Structure 1
Amino acid sequence: MSPEPEELQVRPGTEADLPTLTDVYNHYVRETAVTFDTAVFTPEQRRPWLHSYSEDGPHRLLVAWSSRRIAGYATSSRFRPKPAYASSVETSVYLAPHAVGRGIGTALYGALFAALAKEPVHRAFAGIALPNEASIRLHERFGFRRIGDFTEAGWKFDRYWDVGWYEKPLGPHPSG
């Protein structure tokens, strides 16, 4: 008889999560072209990143827990620094290697977009280093559509990588 699967919990990220969140991200820095960072981070170096998110508002960090450990996280970040971009966010999901292919990215994005539905956010954007069929499927499942590519946008692992850009309408203009 197999054990009961442990329930997935999604909640805002905290300071206590920082070391594990850093480990998850560093896996993608070291092993993949999913991120164009090329050097791993310490938790102390990632602290400003953590503190750029809040439990309310459009810039969020949600963490998924499964089997008493972090399984991944999703973020909605400032899209660009200029004031006219305030009604847009850039979203992303990073999963721990043990959590890939288990529906955790779907759960994280579901929770993230439910939270964003209450915010004055008009558009979500996502940049996906190509190829990445799993990420494309996830984003399309949530209503993102491809709007273009930045070709040979990043150099990592001795080659150039393209980035596909995706957008998702979220709600009406914040003033109306």
Structure 2
Amino acid sequence: MLEEEYQQRRVLPPHLRAPAPAERPFEFAIRDAVAADLPSVREIYNYYVANSTVTFDEDTMSLREWKQKFAYLHKLGMPFLVAESPTGQLLGYALVSPWRQKRAYRFTVENSIYLGPAASGKGLGKALLAELIARSKAAGLKEMIAVIADQGAEGSIALHEKFGFTEIGRMGKVGFKFDRWLGTVLMQRSLK
């Protein structure tokens, strides 16, 4: 008997094989971030700093910097959400921060959504953005801006479009990371 024939005979026909185990559903809960979440938030964000151009940061953020940002956003009453698995693992986060520091911009925010690498492509970004928009409306905010890298972030652009964001402009070659020039796509959505 030839080796190829032997290998073919060792495989059961499809109707005799056991069914593949059902894939567990992707489960998560969205809640307000607390200080204890910040080490995981930092880990998720710093992954993107080191491995992608979706953030133009080139230096990782320290836990101290995240604590300062958390306190500042909390003081302003701005939403900062996390998504958590049933086992307590932080899967991603979403927040808004002031668009600009001048007082007249106080009702306009920029959103940020970052997912752990294992949580992408499972609907978590959509759920976080929906909740972030709802919480931002409840906080009395009026306009939300998304500043998205023009390379490697097509999924983010598509997600924002699904939520009614429209492109309001592009800026070319405003960032330089990983030895290449990068631009941004600006998108906006009214929260009224």
TM over 0.5: yes
What RMSD in Å do the two structures reach over aligned CA positions? 1.6
**Quick one: structure 1 residues 79 and 5, their matched pair in 2 at CA, closer, same or farther if it must change by over 3 Å?**
same
**Quick one: structure 1 residues 112 and 157, their matched pair in 2 at CA, closer, same or farther if it must change by over 3 Å?**
same
Pick the aligned partner of 1:134 from 155, 158, 164.
Answer: 155
Please give the alpha-carbon distance, in whole angstroms, between the structure 2 residues aligned to 1:18 and 1:72. 11
Pick the aligned partner of 1:42 from 62, 69, 73.
Answer: 62
2:99 corresponds to which residue? 79
Residue aligned with 1:22, SS: helix
- State whether structure 2 residue 185 is matched by structure 1 residue 164: yes
1:174 corresponds to which residue? none
Please give the alpha-carbon distance, in whole angstroms, between the structure 2 residues aligned to 1:56 and 1:82. 14
Aligned-residue offset at 1:20: 0.6
Residue aligned with 2:138, SS: coil
Aligned-residue offset at 1:6: 5.4
- State whether structure 2 residue 81 is matched by structure 1 residue 62: yes
Please give the alpha-carbon distance, in whole angstroms, between the structure 2 residues aligned to 1:19 and 1:149. 33
Please give the alpha-carbon distance, in whole angstroms, between the structure 2 residues aligned to 1:16 and 1:75. 16
CA contact (8 A) 1:12 1:55 kept: no
1:115 corresponds to which residue? 135
Pick the aligned partner of 2:116 from 83, 96, 111.
Answer: 96
Specify the code of the residue in structure 2 equivalent to 1:43: L
Greater fraction strand:
1
Structure 2: state its 5+ residue gaps: 1-20
1:149 corresponds to which residue? 170
- Which has the greater radius of gyration? 2
Deviations 1:40-87 (A, max 9, x none): 122123211121223983x11100012421110111111100011011
2:9 corresponds to which residue? none
Aligned-residue offset at 1:114: 1.3
- Number of positions where the alignment pairs a residue of Structure 1 with one of Structure 2: 170
Please give the alpha-carbon distance, in whole angstroms, between the structure 1 residues aligned to 2:55 and 2:76. 26
Please give the alpha-carbon distance, in whole angstroms, between the structure 2 residues aligned to 1:56 and 1:155. 31
Please give the alpha-carbon distance, in whole angstroms, between the structure 2 residues aligned to 1:14 and 1:114. 19
* TM-score (normalised: structure 1): 0.91
* TM-score (normalised: structure 2): 0.83
Please give the alpha-carbon distance, in whole angstroms, between the structure 2 residues aligned to 1:114 and 1:56. 17
